[in-house]
Chain A
Amino acid sequence: MAQALAKTDVVMIGFGWVGAMMGQELTDAGLNVVALERGSWRDTPTDFATTFAQDELRYYWRHELFERLNHETLTFRNNDGQTALPMRHLGSFLPGSNVGGSGVHWNGQVWRFLPSDFLAKSHNLSRYGKSAVPDDMTIQDWGVTYDDLEPYYDKFEYLCGVSGKAGNLKGQIIPGGDPFEGPRSRDYPNPPLDMPYAPMLFAKAAADMGRHPFPHPAANVSRPYTNPLGVQLAQCTYCGFCEKYGCGNYSKSTAQTTILPVLMRKPNFTLRTRSEVRRIELSPDGKTATGVTYVDAQGRELFQPADLVILCAYALENVRMLLLSDVGKPYDPNTGEGLVGKNYAYQITSSVNVFYDDKILNPFIGAGALGMMCNDFNGDNFDHTGLGFIGGGYVGLMQTGARPIETHPTPDGTPTWGAGWKRAVAKNYLRATTISTHGAVMSHKQNHLDLDPTYKDALGRPLLRMSFDFTDNEHKMSDYLTDRAAEMGRAMNPREIKVNKRKGSYDIVPYQTTHNTGGAIMGTSPRDSVLNTYLQSWDVPNLFVPGANAFPQNPGYNPTGTVAALTFRCADAIKSHYLKAPGQPLVHA
């Protein structure tokens, strides 16, 4: 029997970006908050100091900062006709573990979704008619609008000190920024990063073709910055080790560099690391969460009672925790009944390599979100009439730092090993660059998450089972984006280009993006969503589940900005409404 601890106001499951934001907000409201993190404490000087942060072998190839699959993993299949098998090696996506979560090794790409992204179903139906959304495409409107989230996007951008250039200030289009973005109330807190040669070549070619290139909004700060909490970040040094790495230079915005120095000082905040939550405990009627049971580093099982439970692990783990705790009804794609696990989505990526003879590009200069981007083909920024798909993605040239083990671009026709391959790598390393596309994935009836019937984790609990494949909509959309990228690549006047389309079924082996979404989605009715628009469980009102799990489908942008905006909106609702009537739904069904 689990030993019961003293009750706290709030218990949080997981302590990454979302946990840090919620912890900061709820302790500000005077609540006593206990955070339980399955991993270890982690900070800049001890875990990724400048003296060893740029260790490609240790961090990327040996996965120092990522989830340990021998402890926790998932099983995967493309469709119900297959038997799912455990993912025994990380590939397609790289969830984090330990304090700071995946946010420690992100690139720092901070996007806002388009106003029309939040109206995915109604907008496409009204513009393109009923046939635009086939029956098995289970997309829905979010229940919140861009305008609802604008103040919270702004809050996150100022917390991070995002470097960028506004394209739409209160409805006025600003030259040099992204003209397609929703109106923002003020400019970014920091100017764009200095742009290297290759992105400038891309931007010129794109502009000449009538596209609208602009600097990528980056949580890699372009100058020393003190955020509204008084926490300081240092100027980015363009070392090129962001994605898959921790920043040793205090230049990339993470929980550690923006919130924890303040939060960890607070007497009403407690972090317990090496504490893995087994399940959320419910009252006998199943309508109230009484706390959580967890296993500590000594293997003891403890019960932490709390008035309010915040589930803020990674999106996939959030869904699994709901399934393991019997919160809500699991989704069954065959009957269409149940909602937990429904609308799992991902993203679809492709690339075009560009090879020069006459230009030295110094690709090792880099930062996670350093590049020039075009949103001309994102969301519904272009007319989809006759294209046979909805949605889109960005096309851009990002120079994230050509790490030497990872980066060896070679043109078509190069041998894949041996002297010829080595010669080609040596010739092209400094003269090659890559345009990438990053496309939306719409939700489909058959793509979902549930508990695996066979495989179990280290604590004996069923693993999460992922059933996912790309559909025609993704392939058509991604091919269209890749063709546009190839046009821009050719317009850069290189020696040659190499087009890398995403073909066939989704493959979990090669790295793509860590943008797993859905499974516990938000909406305006308990008939078609797990959470209300404040990310409060419809079934258990003292349970909130902030995270990308709430996305009804996945637009063509990186998700972190929207995860943060939804989290801040959730925290605001708890502080200003929920606490006045604890345990009550913020939205009545």
Chain B
Amino acid sequence: MRRAPPALAFLCLLAAGALASAAPQAPPNGAPQEAPPAAGPAPGADLVARGKYLATLGDCTGCHTRPGGAPYEGGLGLGSPFGTIYTANITSDPKVGIGSWSADQFWRALHEGRRNDGAHLYPAFPYPYFTHVTREDSDALRAYLLSVPASSYRPPANKLIFPVNIRGAMAIWNALFFRAEPFTGRADQSAEWNRGAYIVTGLGHCGACHTPKNMLQADSRSKPLQGGKIENWFAPDLDGSPRGLASWSRDDIVEFLKTGRNARSNGGASMAAVLVHSTTQMTDEDRRDIAVYLKSLPPSDAPASRGAAQDVMAQGGAVYRDECSACHGVNGAGEPRLFPALRNDANVQQRDPTTMVRYILTGSQTASSAARPTAFTMPAFSWKLNDREVAAVATYVRNSFGNNAQPVSASEVANLRHKVAAHPIQKELPAAEQR
């Protein structure tokens, strides 16, 4: 795992602080605050159904079910600059799952980021968002997870660097970046807005990808949903700027969440799983409320483009006509809901071109939904175009059809090519074939 030296230095300081302060800060919270659930009347079917829907809102399965694993038994490796964290088994198993957790303990995990024994969870489990979840929803979610068949699978141990491998260090992280606070709505906004905000900033944990991070992987609170870099993707800006959702109508957002695509964009990359497991399964009301909230976000500043060199534009144009225009059109208009338009497209004009360049290098598959079943796929060009050609065509697209964004350099492409070389598009079998 590559690490930036400044972060390492900072970590050493942090480590010293953590060790020094470990004793006085460690709260005696290992003891359960209420008895584990005894055999009693089964929770109401209503409660379980509500919890199941909340698990959908939170896309719990996205991280807690690994490919080929049983539902919610965990074991998916999540990359971070500090190593790999394996997601927990959250089935009803009393030993490795959450079967023995009390309702209070479950709530504390969501609200404070603590395990049932009181140890700190890592914020890869997005408790900075889940802290907003109401106690009522927490109880429902727990009721649902307890209804999931138990699995005794034990996920692998985390592989983290020092000092992050000491859970206690998270006390410092929490002190610096985390406030346990329930969601407080805004009286001056509509019920729809408040519900949308509750989902987006809570269970939906949209900012986990879409909000920029500081060097310790905490959200930049001053830049909510302004686009974030994660695992060699750049999750686009979702605020009201031209590179965000300014040109998307509320209906555009709803259609995207419901079907996985709209006239402007096809949902792919890491968003595909979110679309498949979460947003396409939501109620129409919740999708509308999310759109209401997102459309209320103010625009943020965008860096001015320094303009692209003429020869690069000429080369990029030639590559574009040969390789891209058959699907995206010579004028970048695309084909709505089949091949995304590049004209006025937010993804291609992000301040950070990572996602766009990665699409060119590795290709991308659109999410398949009941409404739009075909998983249209952009092929990989990494074997066909060199770094200069990829940079040129990316620069061309970022500065054609009315687009305006910083040019992309060949070294940026080379860097990303190196990082994603281990992740070429795999020939994947559809789930139905593997049964």
> What CA separation (Å) do A250 and B431 show in the bound complex?
21
> What CA separation (Å) do A271 and B432 show in the bound complex?
7
Which residues on A sit within 8 Å (CB–CB) of B337?
232
Whether B427 lies near A46 (C-beta < 8 A) is yes
Whether A261 lies near B374 (C-beta < 8 A) is yes
**In the complex, A584 has a CB within 8 A of chain B:** no
Whether B433 lies near A51 (C-beta < 8 A) is no
Whether A50 lies near B379 (C-beta < 8 A) is yes
**In the complex, B423 has a CB within 8 A of chain A:** no
> What CA separation (Å) do A45 and B359 show in the bound complex?
14
**In the complex, A31 has a CB within 8 A of chain B:** no
Which residues on B sit within 8 Å (CB–CB) of A237?
326
> What CA separation (Å) do A269 and B433 show in the bound complex?
9
Given that A51-B384, A234-B335 are known contacts, is A265 also in contact with B327, CB under 8 Å in the complex? no
**In the complex, A471 has a CB within 8 A of chain B:** no
Whether A264 lies near B376 (C-beta < 8 A) is no
Whether A270 lies near B435 (C-beta < 8 A) is yes
**In the complex, B339 has a CB within 8 A of chain A:** yes
> What CA separation (Å) do A51 and B335 show in the bound complex?
19
How near does chain B come to A50, taking the closest CB pair, in angstroms? 6
| Binary interface encoding of chain A residues 256-292 relative to chain B, with 1 for a CB under 8 A from any of its CBs, else 0 | 0100011011100111110000000000000000000
> What CA separation (Å) do A555 and B34 show in the bound complex?
81
Which residues from 350 to 407 on chain B have a C-beta closer than 8 Å to any C-beta of chain A? 363, 365, 368, 370-377, 379-381, 384
How near does chain A come to B85, taking the closest CB pair, in angstroms? 31
Whether A234 lies near B368 (C-beta < 8 A) is no
How near does chain B come to A53, taking the closest CB pair, in angstroms? 9
Whether A45 lies near B425 (C-beta < 8 A) is yes
How near does chain A come to B19, taking the closest CB pair, in angstroms? 51
Which has the most chain A C-beta neighbours within 10 Å: B326, B337, B368?
B326
Whether B433 lies near A45 (C-beta < 8 A) is no
Whether A51 lies near B380 (C-beta < 8 A) is yes
Whether B432 lies near A266 (C-beta < 8 A) is yes
Whether A261 lies near B432 (C-beta < 8 A) is no
> What CA separation (Å) do A272 and B430 show in the bound complex?
11
Whether B363 lies near A45 (C-beta < 8 A) is yes
| Binary interface encoding of chain B residues 403-435 relative to chain A, with 1 for a CB under 8 A from any of its CBs, else 0 | 000000000000000000000010111111101
How near does chain B come to A190, taking the closest CB pair, in angstroms? 14
Whether B432 lies near A269 (C-beta < 8 A) is yes
Whether B427 lies near A224 (C-beta < 8 A) is no
Q: For this complex, into which size category does the number of interface residues on chain B fall?
A: 20 to 34
Which residues on A sit within 8 Å (CB–CB) of B433?
41, 264, 270-273
**In the complex, A295 has a CB within 8 A of chain B:** no
| Binary interface encoding of chain A residues 207-239 relative to chain B, with 1 for a CB under 8 A from any of its CBs, else 0 | 000000000000000001000011110110101
Whether A230 lies near B429 (C-beta < 8 A) is no
Closest chain A residue, CB of each to CB of B425: A45
**In the complex, A122 has a CB within 8 A of chain B:** no
Whether B339 lies near A234 (C-beta < 8 A) is yes
Closest chain B residue, CB of each to CB of A42: B427
Whether A261 lies near B363 (C-beta < 8 A) is no
Whether A51 lies near B374 (C-beta < 8 A) is no
B327 partner, pick from A45, A229, A234, beta carbons under 8 A: A234
Which residues on A sit within 8 Å (CB–CB) of B363?
45, 49
**In the complex, B338 has a CB within 8 A of chain A:** yes
Which residues on B sit within 8 Å (CB–CB) of A271?
432-433
**In the complex, B323 has a CB within 8 A of chain A:** yes
> What CA separation (Å) do A232 and B369 show in the bound complex?
12
Whether A250 lies near B374 (C-beta < 8 A) is yes
> What CA separation (Å) do A249 and B372 show in the bound complex?
17
B430 partner, pick from A50, A230, A264, beta carbons under 8 A: A264
> What CA separation (Å) do A224 and B337 show in the bound complex?
10
Closest chain A residue, CB of each to CB of B373: A261
How near does chain B come to A457, taking the closest CB pair, in angstroms? 25
**In the complex, A248 has a CB within 8 A of chain B:** yes
**In the complex, A512 has a CB within 8 A of chain B:** no
B379 partner, pick from A41, A51, A224, A231, beta carbons under 8 A: A51
Whether B381 lies near A51 (C-beta < 8 A) is yes
Which residues from 91 to 110 on chain A have a C-beta closer than 8 Å to any C-beta of chain B? none
> What CA separation (Å) do A266 and B381 show in the bound complex?
32
Which residues on A sit within 8 Å (CB–CB) of B374?
231-232, 250, 257, 261
Closest chain B residue, CB of each to CB of A248: B379
Which residues on B sit within 8 Å (CB–CB) of A273?
433
A41 partner, pick from B323, B365, B430, beta carbons under 8 A: B430
How near does chain A come to B376, taking the closest CB pair, in angstroms? 7
6 closest A-B pairs by beta carbon, nearest first, are A45-B377, A49-B379, A261-B373, A51-B379, A261-B374, A264-B430
A-B contact pairs, 17 of them (CB 8 A): A41-B429, A45-B377, A49-B363, A50-B379, A51-B380, A52-B379, A224-B336, A232-B376, A235-B335, A249-B327, A261-B373, A264-B430, A265-B368, A265-B370, A270-B432, A271-B432, A271-B433
Give the interface of B toward A (CB within 8 A). Answer: 323, 326-327, 335-339, 363, 365, 368, 370-377, 379-381, 384, 425, 427-433, 435
- Told that A45-B379, A224-B338, A257-B374 touch, could you supply 14 new A-B pairs with CB distance under 8 A? A45-B365, A50-B379, A51-B384, A230-B373, A249-B326, A249-B327, A261-B373, A262-B373, A264-B430, A265-B373, A265-B432, A269-B432, A270-B432, A270-B435
